[in-house]
Amino acid sequence: MKRIWAIVIAVVLSLAVGRAASEDYATHSALSSGRWVKISVDKSGVYKLTASALQEMGFSDIAQVSVHGYGGWMLDEDFSATGYQDDVPQVPVWRDGETIYFYAKGPVKWNYEYEGDIRGDMFVHENNPYATAGYYFVTDATEPSSMQELASVEGAVRQITTFDDYQVWETEAVAVNESGRQLFGESFQVSNSRSFSFSVPGVTDDDAVISMRFIANTSSSREVTLSTGDAELRLLVPANNGSTSSYTRATAAEGAMIWSGEKPETVNMDVTYGGTSDQNVYLDYIRLQTKRALRLYGAETAFRSVDALNNVSRFQLENASESTVVFDITDTQAPKLVRTTLDGTTLSFSISSSASLREFVAFNKNTITNEPTIVGEIEAQDLHGIEQPNMVIIAPSAFTTQAERLAEAHRQRDDLRVEVVSPEAIYNEFSSGTPDATAYRRFMKMLYDRSTDAVPLKYLLLFGDGSYDNRGLTTEWSQNASLLSNMLLTYQSENSISIDSYTTDDYFGFLEDNSGASIAGSRLCIGIGRLPIRTNAEARAAVDKIISYMENTLPGNWKNNVTFVADDGSNADLSSSDGPQQHMEHADELAEIVNTNHPEFRVNKLYFDAYTKDRTGGNASYPDIEANLQKQLRNGLMVLNYIGHGNTTSWSDEAVMTQSYIQQATYPYLPLWITATCDFTRFDALATSAGESVFLNETSGGIALFTTTRTVYSGPNLEINRAIINNLFTRNSDGRHRTLGEILQNAKTSLGGDSNKLKFMLIGDPALRLTFPDYEIAVTEINGEPVDTLNPPTIQALERVTVSGEIRTPEGTKDTQFNGTLRSTIFDSRQTVTTLDNFGTGEKFEYTDYPNTLYTGNDSVRAGEFSFTFTVPKDISYSNDFGKMNFYAFSAQDSVEAQGSFLDFRVGGTSDTGTDDTAGPDIRYLYLNDTTFVDGGKVNLTPLFVASLWDQSGINITGSSIGHDMMLIIDGQVAQSYTLNDYYELTGDDGSGRVVFSIPELEPGIHTAEFKVWDVLNNSTTRTFTFEAVKDLDPQLINLYASPSPARSQVTFYLEHNLPESQLNVRIEVFDMAGRLRWSHEENGASEAFESYQVTWDLMGNGSGRMLPGIYIYRASLRSGNSNTVSDAKKMIILAQ
C-alpha cells in the first residue's frame, strides 16, 4: 500500500507561561419606526422571499421591501479591522417578478488562508460560538437597494472550468473542560476506530488537502491515523504529563496532507486512535478541500478558484440554463448580480484580475427552495437614540422589573444615568438579531465613543448568569435549555482544553478603537460586574440585598475588620520554587499593605500553619481556623481575602470554607470577598459554584466578590490581589471611595498584558461603593497630655489610662454636631508569630500580629469629643514596643460613621498605683441555648453557650499569659477545652459583656462543664454546671408572629425558638378562612444567636397570582434533624395593593 506521509503540526495546549467619532453612529436606529420582521437562516446561501411569504409578514408592496442585517457569522472581535457597518446595514437584493432573492450568511464562515506550506491553499472554517442560525430583518421602512450588476470584462487569460471546494465534518457536542468555545464530536474511548464519508460530485484528480484536529488526554504520546484509499495522514497526540497535567483535560494534534491521485465522488475516511484506555478522546474536525468540475449541482452551487488570483479569468459553468443566475458574493454585505453569457448549457462570465479571492454563487431561480424562517415582527426600538448613560444594565426581559429597581436606586442615590437594556434589543441593532458577545461590546463602544466629561460611560452590569455553552449544544445544557433563555452570553477563549482556557467579562469593556486583537493586551475602559441570577426570585433577592447594603442599615465596628486567610499549601507546592509557604507570604504582604497604609482597619491574620492541623479520620482539617473564620463572619467583616488552593465548592484541601456553610450562613454582615484561588466562582457551569452561593445567599454570604472563574497561577494572583488592595481603600479625587467597578478596572489596567487577570471577575454591582466610614477618629490626649509623636507615652500594667479624642470631618475639622457611641479596642504591642510547619518541610514562617487585646469598650461621644478610662491588664507583653488603638464611632441622628487608629504609644512596665480589687468577675447569668435552661437540662448535640459578665476593672481577654484565658472545659477533657477570649464582646457602657460560643458536636449523654473567667488583675471566677445532650432534640417554638400585619406588599414570618445556630427544617403554610392552602414554603437553615428565624413572603400564591385582601391563617412548622415537628398557627391580614 502506498503511504503519503505529511509533516504534522502538533499543538499542545497546556501551560503557557482612542475613541471613534460619535458621528460615526446613527443618531437614531432604523428599527425605531416602521414594520421590521425578523427572519432566520440556518446556512449560507441564496434565499428567496416570495409574495405569499411577504404577505404573511404583513407587506403588500414587494417593490418597497428591503432586507437588512449582518447574518450568522461571528462579528469581528478586532476593532482595528474595517468592514463593520453600524445599525443593521441593508443587503442589496435581486428582484425577479414577485420574488426577491438575496444572499444570507449562516453561522459557519470560511476563510481563505494561504500559508505557503505543504498544506497548500487552505480554507479554514469558523463556527459562530453564540448562534446556530443567522438573522436578518425584512422591512418596508427604508428605501430598497437592488444589486448592482457586475459587467463581464474582456481579455481573459485564464479559463476556469474547475473550482476549489471545501467541506468539514464536525460534530459539536462535548465540552471536555467546561470552558472555551470549542466543542468536540465523536468519541474514540469505547471504539478506537470510526469511519466518515464525504460526497464530492464532480471531484477531479487534482491534488486535494485533508486536514484533521484530534484531542486526547493521554499519559504517553499516541498516534492517530486518517486513511482514505492509499493515502494516510498520521498525527501524534502529545502526552499530557507536564507540570499542569492535572488541569489539562486533553492535548491536541492537528495537521494536513496533500492527497494526490484518483479520487472517488464518495470519499470514505477511516480514523484510528492508537490507544484504548485514555480519556477525552475526541475528533474535533476533518476538513476536505478538493477541485471539482465547475457546474451547477442541484439548485445552488457556491464556488471560487485560487487559479483566478491575479489573473483576468473566464469562468465557464456547466449544467446551466436560462434560469441560472450568478451572484458575486465576495463582499457578502454588498453582493452583485453577475452579467453572464449562456451558450447551450454553458454559462460564462469574465472577471478582472484581483489579488483577493473572489467568491460566487450560482443558482436556478426556478428550482431553488431556500426560504428563511419567519421569526416575527419586532417592536420599535432605538438604542442608538437613548440618552447618554453612565451605566448600562443588560438584563433578560424576565428580569427587567428587578433591573429597573436597581437602576432607580442608582439614579436616586448616586445621581447616575442608568439604562436597562435587553440582550435581544442589543442583538437587533448591533448584530441584526444574531446572538453575539461582540454585539454587547459594539453597543458599549458606541456609548463610550459618545461619552463626555459631563456624562462618561463608567459601568456595565450583566444582570444574569451565563454558560460556557452559549448555544446549548452539549448534553447537559441541551437538557437544561430553559435556563439559557434567562442567561446572558459569556466570552470564552479559543483554548478549550488546558489550564489557559478562560471566560472573561472584561471583553465587553475593551472599547478603544484598536482593541480586541489581543484580549490580554486590550485596556479595560469601564467597570464591569455580573449578577449570576437564573430566576426572578434570585433577581429580586439580589436587588433587595444590594439596595439594603446601599441603605447602610447595619452600622457597627465590624466595618473596621479586614481578614486575610492563607492556605498552608498542598503537595503540588512542594515542587514549586516558592514552596507551601508562598500563600502565607503573599497574604502577609497584602495584610501589611493595609496595616501600613490604612491603620484605621483592624487586620486579622488567619494563616493555616499557625494552627494545629487535625488528621483524625484520615482527612486533614483545621477546626480552629474554621471556627475562628466563622466567628469573624458572625461578628462582621468589611473585607475577607483568601489566598490559596480551592475549587468550585471549597477553599483548600482541608475545606476550611465550604459551599454548604455558605448556603446555610445567616450572619447579617456582608463583606466583600476576595478569593485568589482556583475555580471558586465558575459561574458559567451548570452547577452553582460556592462563589455564586456567597452572592446568592439572600441575607448573608457577601455583598460582592472579586473572584476567580478558572484555574489561576499563584504569582500573578499576588499581582492582581495587590492591585486590588491598593485600589480598594483609595479615594477618588472627589474624596469618595472607589466603586467596586472602578477598583477592579484600575487594578487590571495596572497589570498590562497579564492573561491571568482575565480569570478574575466582579460578582456584584460595579457601581456599588463599600460602606466605609467617611469620618476620622483622632486621639488628642493620653492621660490629659497632648499626644506627641516625637515623645510617645508608655502605658503600663495596672495603670488607669484615660484616652481623649475627637471626630473629624473628611475635611479634617472637628465635627461638633457628632453625638453617638464609640467602640474602642486597644492592642498590646506587635508579637512575632512562628508557624508550626504542619507540612513538615523543615521551614517555618514568621509574621507579626497584634494577638493580645488590652481593652475593648463602648463609650459616648458628645459634640464630637470623647474620653474614656480603662485599667491596663497585668498580663501584658512588657516589650516597651508600640501598641495600637482602633476606633469606630456612629451617630444615629445623622447616620454618620467614623473610624480611626492611634499608634504612637508604647506598652511596658508596671504602674506603682495600687488597686484594692480582689474579687473575680461577676457571672450574671449562664445558660445553654435559651434563658429557660436549668442545671441538668436537656440540649441538642451542638448547644450555644451564653454567659453575661461584669467586672469593675475589666475582663481579661489578652491571651498573653498562660492560665489566665477565659475557658470552657467539657468533662475535664483537653480535647474539649475551648478558649473563649475572642468570643467575648462588650454589651454596655458599664463594662458588662457577653460571651457566646457554639459548642462543637457532643456525644449524647450527661456532661459536666466548667467555665472560668479572669479579670485584668488576674482575679478569677468559676462556674460548674451539668446538662444532657440529646440527639434530634425536639425544638421549641417559643413565639411566632408576622410583620407587618396587616401586610400590603410583603410579610416576614418570625420564628423564635430554642436552637440558635442549629440547622432546622422550616415550613410555612398560608390558608384562607375556608381552610384551602394558598401558599407554602419549605427550607433548611439556621438563625443566629438571639435572632428569630425569618421567612419573607411576597404575597404571591402558589400559581394563583397575588393574594386577595382578607384574613388568612398562617402555620409554621419546625424540625431539627429527625426530631418531631412542632408547629403553631396564627392569623394575619392582607390588604389591597
Query: Lowest-pLDDT range, 190-194, 453-457, 1073-1077?
Result: 1073-1077
Same domain, 141 and 169: no
Whether 760 contacts 673, CB under 8 Å: no
Kindly report the average pLDDT of the chain as a whole number. Answer: 93
Alpha carbon distance 545, 568 (integer Å): 34
Backbone angles phi, psi at 409, to 5 degrees: -60, -40
**CA Rg, the chain, in Å?**
36
Over residues 595-603, the mean pLDDT reads: 98
User: What was the pLDDT predicted at 989?
Assistant: 64
Over residues 664-680, the mean pLDDT reads: 96
Same domain, 128 and 40: yes
Same domain, 263 and 225: yes
Q: All 3 cell numbers of residue 934?
A: 436549668
Bridge partner list, 421:
394
Over residues 1035-1045, the mean pLDDT reads: 92
Whether 149 contacts 337, CB under 8 Å: yes
Alpha carbon distance 594, 889 (integer Å): 20
pLDDT over 70 (residue 3): no
- Which of 1000, 1029, 1058 terminates a domain? The answer is 1029
Query: For residue 1050, is it within any domain?
Result: yes
Per-residue pLDDT of 342-386, as tens digits, reads 999 999 999 999 999 999 999 999 999 999 999 999 999 999 999
User: What was the pLDDT predicted at 23?
Assistant: 60
Whether 1107 contacts 1099, CB under 8 Å: yes
Per-residue pLDDT of 25-59, as tens digits, reads 999 999 999 999 999 999 999 999 999 999 999 99
Same domain, 318 and 362: yes
Whether 740 contacts 764, CB under 8 Å: yes
User: What was the pLDDT predicted at 132?
Assistant: 98
User: What was the pLDDT predicted at 824?
Assistant: 96
pLDDT over 90 (residue 551): yes
pLDDT tier at 1085, thresholds 50, 70, 90: confident
User: What was the pLDDT predicted at 10?
Assistant: 34
CA distance readout (Å), 332 to 67, 72, 95, 335, 1073 = 13, 11, 17, 6, 68
User: What was the pLDDT predicted at 5?
Assistant: 33
Same domain, 372 and 286: no
Alpha carbon distance 920, 590 (integer Å): 41
Over residues 1067-1091, the mean pLDDT reads: 88
Backbone angles phi, psi at 362, to 5 degrees: -110, 145
Same domain, 353 and 481: no
Query: For residue 396, is it within any domain?
Result: yes
Amino acid of residue 639: V
Over residues 827-836, the mean pLDDT reads: 96
Contacts by 839-847, CB closer than 8 A, 24 or more apart: 839/568, 839/569, 839/574, 839/580, 839/609, 841/574, 841/579, 841/580, 841/581, 843/579, 843/581, 844/609, 845/581, 845/584, 845/585, 845/588, 845/607, 845/609, 847/584, 847/588, 847/605, 847/607
Instruction: Check which CATH number belongs to the domain holding 560 and give it.
Output: 3.40.50.1460
pLDDT tier at 1104, thresholds 50, 70, 90: low
Alpha carbon distance 402, 666 (integer Å): 24
Same domain, 206 and 331: no
Residue 438: name the closest of 833, 864, 81, 900 by CA: 81
Per-residue pLDDT of 937-954, as tens digits, reads 999 999 999 999 999 888
Query: For residue 100, is it within any domain?
Result: yes
Same domain, 286 and 339: no
Query: For residue 6, is it within any domain?
Result: no
Over residues 927-945, the mean pLDDT reads: 93
CA 303 to chain CA centroid, Å, is 45
Alpha carbon distance 1130, 1132 (integer Å): 7
pLDDT over 90 (residue 697): yes
Per-residue pLDDT of 578-590, as tens digits, reads 778 999 999 999 9
Alpha carbon distance 239, 835 (integer Å): 39
Percent of the chain with pLDDT over 90: 84
Alpha carbon distance 58, 374 (integer Å): 11
Place of cell 425536639: 1034
- Which of 324, 356, 376 terminates a domain? The answer is 376
User: What was the pLDDT predicted at 604?
Assistant: 98
Same domain, 819 and 793: yes
pLDDT tier at 655, thresholds 50, 70, 90: very high
User: What was the pLDDT predicted at 13?
Assistant: 31
pLDDT over 70 (residue 914): no
Same domain, 894 and 834: yes
Per-residue pLDDT of 390-402, as tens digits, reads 999 999 999 999 9
Residue 1089: name the closest of 771, 697, 662, 630 by CA: 630
Total count of domains within the chain? 7
Same domain, 281 and 317: no
Whether 712 contacts 691, CB under 8 Å: no
Over residues 851-866, the mean pLDDT reads: 94
Residue 868: name the closest of 828, 823, 908 by CA: 823
Question: Which one-letter DSSP state was computed for residue 152?
Answer: -
Buried-state track 474-504, b at ≥16 Cβ within 10 A, e below 16: beebeeeeeebebbbbbbbbebbbbbbbbbb
pLDDT tier at 122, thresholds 50, 70, 90: confident
∠ CA(378), CA(379), CA(381), 5° rounding?
110
Whether 713 contacts 680, CB under 8 Å: no
Per-residue pLDDT of 947-996, as tens digits, reads 999 998 889 988 877 889 999 999 999 889 999 988 888 877 667 889 99
Per-residue pLDDT of 1007-1032, as tens digits, reads 999 999 999 899 999 999 999 999 98
User: What was the pLDDT predicted at 24?
Assistant: 86
CB burial of residue 369 (10 Å; 0-12, 13-18, 19+): exposed
Per-residue pLDDT of 438-495, as tens digits, reads 999 999 999 999 999 999 999 999 999 999 999 999 999 999 999 999 999 999 999 9
3-state DSSP call for residue 1093?
A: strand
User: What was the pLDDT predicted at 158?
Assistant: 94
Per-residue pLDDT of 513-541, as tens digits, reads 999 999 999 999 999 999 999 999 999 99
Query: Lowest-pLDDT range, 65-74, 245-254, 320-329?
Result: 245-254
CA distance readout (Å), 491 to 202, 462, 506, 519 = 41, 12, 9, 11
pLDDT tier at 1090, thresholds 50, 70, 90: confident
Query: For residue 1064, is it within any domain?
Result: yes
Instruction: Check which CATH number belongs to the domain holding 1102 and give it.
Output: 2.60.40.2550
Over residues 198-218, the mean pLDDT reads: 97
Domain that holds residue 844: 775-909
CB burial of residue 294 (10 Å; 0-12, 13-18, 19+): buried
Query: For residue 332, is it within any domain?
Result: yes
| Beta-strand pair 158-160/313-317 | parallel
Question: In sequence order, which ranges of 659-789 are alpha helices (DSSP H)?
Answer: 659-664, 690-696, 714-728, 740-749
- Which of 1029, 1057, 1077 terminates a domain? The answer is 1029
Contacts by 613-622, CB closer than 8 A, 24 or more apart: 613/568, 613/654, 613/836, 613/838, 620/653, 620/654, 621/654, 621/655, 621/656, 622/654, 622/656
Alpha carbon distance 873, 855 (integer Å): 8
Please provide the distance, in angstroms rounded to a whole number, between the alpha carbons at the two ends of the chain: 84
Bridge partner list, 1116:
1068, 1128
Same domain, 287 and 358: no
Whether 509 contacts 745, CB under 8 Å: yes
Query: For residue 3, is it within any domain?
Result: no
User: What was the pLDDT predicted at 1062?
Assistant: 83
pLDDT tier at 170, thresholds 50, 70, 90: very high
Instruction: Check which CATH number belongs to the domain holding 267 and give it.
Output: 2.60.120.1200
pLDDT over 80 (residue 19): no
DSSP E strands in 229-311: the ranges are 231-237, 251-259, 266-273, 279-293, 300-303
Alpha carbon distance 7, 366 (integer Å): 47
